[in-house]
Chains A and B, each alone.
Chain A
Amino acid sequence: MKANITGPDTRDTDLERSQLRAELAETWKTPRGLWGALATVDHKIIGRRYILTAFVFLALGGILAALMRIQLAQPEERLIGPDRYNQIFTMHGANMMFLFAVPVMEAMAVYLVPLMVGTRNIAFPRLNAFSYWIYLAGGALLWLSFALDMAPDVGWFAYVPLSGPQYGAGKRADIWAQMITFTELSALAVAVELVVTIFKQRAPGMTLDRIPVFVWAMLVTAFLVIMAMPAIMVASTSLILDRLVGTHFYNPAEGGDVLLWQHLFWFFGHPEVYIIFLPAAGMVSTMIEPFARRPAFGYLALVMALIATGILSFGLWVHHMFVAGLPRLGNSFFTASSMAIAIPAGIQIFCWLGTLWDGKPLFATPLLFIIGFIVTFVIGGLTGVMVASVPFDTQVHDTYFVVAHFHYVLIGGAVFPLLGAVHYWFPKITGRMMSETLGKWSFWLIFIGFNLTFFPMHILGLQGMPRRIYTYQPDMPWHGMNLFVSLSAIILVAGFLLFFLNAIRSARSGAAARDNPWDAPTLEWATASPPPSYNFARIPAVSSSHPLWNRSDILAVASGLRTDRRELVVTSLVTAEPQAREASPRNSIWPLWAAIATTVMLIWSIFSPWAVVWGSIPIAITLIGWFWPKGTPEDES
């Protein structure tokens, strides 16, 4: 093998602290200006963009929800017509699931996981840049179509035959299907990056039992993405084929089957719920430690519960299809498995309660959101056990009871921990603290507003109010409750506005944050707030599961990495023994070109199958440009 190293020794062993930092800053920097912004592969910059974009989509989806609540506030309301209403509830669901919930969890991981495992960048950082552009393009496609009054109107799960060629005229269902392709592509890319980062880039000594629980949660989530998202890509692709080139997957007249769609969709769709929930559970397990001021109770049980939930999540999908007329035995099996998943969820809840019980709780905003989460999620879990039973589900299927249930588990189970996490990691990301006063106000407004808005929906559902209706007649007994719900939603909206206000204000003029303002034990707090481009001047050497709680004034680190090329440590899978000083790719504009070429191909293919043939050529060219070696020091071996 040819040794490529020529010239002076550029390893960091003998460098002074300030010179080491200066040299690393030069090697890892993102240049100022537009070109630098477009070409950056820094996981922190991309993670920040991802988080911000996802919150913009949350706000947009929230506006749609508010519109629906105005429309439903009284019977025979004429604000929104039936066609626009169909678009609005479809957009609300698709936007919240595909453009907000899944991306925001992955976005938090893109930012935090490399810091928490003590490395300098995510694995495959250019793929990371590519995934963000693809995500942005998918979101833009959906919202531009809405602006043009041609948004999908077939529900977020786009059941056939409604979305098929016979009933779904125009291009609305195709836009839904292609938005799926965009978002799943970006989600799968991030999942691969996370798996490899967690497997191979952990700091030396961070054995499997020393990985922070949030990182474990993201590992399990990434595997769920990898195993579940191909199902929705198969589904959406076959739907487009049915609509564009006349295949018959979902046409019963020619041997196809409409229930096939439901199977494929929910084989993805149920794990999807845990793709959203598991990161939130991981956030709670990690955040609870500094606020309970003790290590989380039952580390092994928490990790095993995450893995068990992940495995069980693939055995539940039929509980979305209880009224579709499947064999009794199948229904019974899926009732049992749906109830079984309450066990790992319960284990985690008892671990968190145990942690708080034995700790000295500090009731800062993040902990308030954790407690709000536990309360709300338990209610959502209980109604989950209720709808897992076939007779009960048959009664409330497609009613507001189900709407109430999944908002309890998704907002209570995922958004509450996420908001807590934003307050918690905000100082790390921005270098400034969020206001505690505004934080507490926003928590109480959101918590009270949420429960007042969504709890009555259980009752509306039991009273028989169906989902997805754009209005109802005055003789139905739903009027008073709907008005109450709509008025309560004002409190919820006020809480979210206060949260956004707090975040924007604090980012500009919040109190400066120390490196570790919460006295937390994990590695992201061992570096500056916000972290420098290279994350750690020297890679930490880990010898316990709470590295910053051992001897909080001294951090054990490793030396010997080069400073003239982007270098990080690759370690072994189980014991995290150092294996190589691996290069990490430099900034590159090619991921953007590749994303643009992919976007052109995917949108063109809504209109013509030949797009796949001709559109692949520019994609291939951009990928070659991306991977062709540029003779930088990173290419040395």
Chain B
Amino acid sequence: MKERVTLDLSKLPLHGMGTASVTWWGTLAFMLIEGTGFVLVLAVYLYLMSLAAIWPIDAPKPDLLPGTLVTLILLASLVPNVLMSRWAEQQDLRKIRIGMVVMSLFGVAPLIVRIFEFPALGISWDANAYGSIVWTLLGLHTTHIMTDLVDTLVLAALMLTRHGNNARRFGDVQDNAMYWNFVVATWLPIYGCIYWIPRL
């Protein structure tokens, strides 16, 4: 088939940022998958609750302190996270390097509190269905914090190398920040579910 050139693309940038980036869309798609998973596990919680005569089943109401502390840490982490996303947009490598270290610490902090949060549920996963579902909710969210922490640590290391000064990396930083927002946002309904629904 004969070809006729009707369009010149040579002036286009070598990489797109934001909605022009395929990884941005990929991250969004994975958020949709995991978000659906969270919604379903929350639905299982409500379903089991609707069947139970008393809720929580044979357990005290979960202790508020560690969970609330995690919530506050996660909410506070949004400030440096949003700032870092902005620095990535401005492609300010020096600030991004500092921001990545700060965000790594904000990834570790909730995990330390989580060590105390599991016992604060006041029930084991194998005691009954209530124990199973609250451990699953908390475990699922903890997995998300851990995976994003590993991602943040690797990206932080990468930003400190010669590979850091690259628009592609700045896009990765933005996607990573977007994913952390997702991790925080999904925690709020889970927090409400685990700690406040039994107190209604």
Contacts and interface: CB of A to CB of B under 8 A. Distances in A.
A246 B132 CA distance: 9
B129 A251 contact: yes
A196 B30 CA distance: 11
B20 interface: yes
Interface centre among B1, B4, B125 (most CB of A within 10 A): B1
B12 A579 contact: yes
B125 A201 contact: no
B6 A556 contact: yes
Contacts of A624: 154
A145 interface: no
Interface residues on B, range: 35 or more
Interface SS majority for chain B: helix
Interface string B33-61: 11011001100100110011000010000
Nearest to A631: B163
Contacts of B136: 238, 241, 247
A634 to B, nearest CB: 9
Contact of A558 (B5, B26, B32): B5
A295 B27 CA distance: 36
A578 B37 CA distance: 34
Interface in A544-576: 552-561, 569-570, 572-573
B29 A226 contact: yes
Interface string B1-25: 1111111111111111001111001
A328 B3 CA distance: 64
Given A124-B22, A557-B7, A255 B51 contact: yes
B137 to A, nearest CB: 11
Contact of B168 (A191, A195, A635): A635
A247 B126 contact: yes
A2 B48 contact: no
Interface residues of A, number: 77
Interface of A: 1-2, 4-5, 11, 13, 123-124, 188, 191-192, 195-196, 199-201, 204, 226-227, 229-231, 233-234, 238, 241-242, 245-249, 251, 254-257, 260, 263-264, 267, 515-516, 526, 537-539, 541, 552-561, 569-570, 572-573, 578-583, 620, 624, 627-629, 631, 635-637
Given A192-B29, A230-B36, A637-B167, 20 more contacts: A2-B165, A4-B166, A195-B25, A200-B25, A204-B9, A230-B37, A230-B40, A234-B40, A242-B132, A247-B126, A249-B132, A256-B128, A257-B51, A558-B8, A558-B9, A569-B12, A580-B16, A581-B9, A628-B158, A635-B166
Interface of B: 1-16, 19-22, 25-26, 29-30, 32-34, 36-37, 40-41, 44, 47-48, 51-52, 57, 91, 125-133, 135-136, 150, 154, 158, 163, 165-168
17 contacts: A124-B26, A192-B26, A230-B40, A248-B126, A248-B131, A554-B4, A556-B4, A557-B3, A558-B6, A558-B9, A579-B12, A579-B20, A582-B14, A629-B158, A635-B166, A636-B166, A637-B166
